[in-house]
Amino acid sequence: MANAEECREALEQLSRNMAKSTGDVRTAAALDRSVSCRITDLDLTFTGQLRDGRIQDLVAAPGAPTAKAEIRLAMSSDDLVALVGGRLNFASAWASGRIRLEAGFRDLLRLRTLL
């Protein structure tokens, strides 16, 4: 099981990856939305703001999120690290229920490019 610091680093790496993206991926990452990532096995939630193609103002808090973010992810710590590290395919993990993604319909259409 990955620890909280490894999860934070994975989310920061995801943010760096999105910031370096180009084309359709850059357009999809250019949303201005609140985001949360619930790490189920650590009972921890990271929250932040997706802005200018990056995840900004990343904060960790114990338990479930206190407010409903516009884009919500939930997964285990190991799945987060594997996903960002390229060892886990998002589509298959999402289809099997290992990763949950909730967002508005328009956001889901834009985010599909990232996934």
Pairing of strands 100-103, 33-39: unpaired
What H or E segment, with its residue span, contains residue 29? helix 23-29
CA gap 96, 53 in Å, rounded? 28
CA gap 46, 38 in Å, rounded? 6
Amino acid at 22: T
Per-residue pLDDT of the chain (115 residues; tens, 9 = 90+): 999 999 999 999 999 988 887 776 666 667 899 999 999 999 999 999 999 888 999 999 999 988 999 999 999 999 999 999 999 998 899 999 999 999 999 888 777 666 5
CATH architecture assignment, domain 4-111: 2-Layer Sandwich (3.30)
Predicted TM-score (pTM) of this structure: 0.89
What is the CB neighbour count within 10 angstroms for residue 54?
19
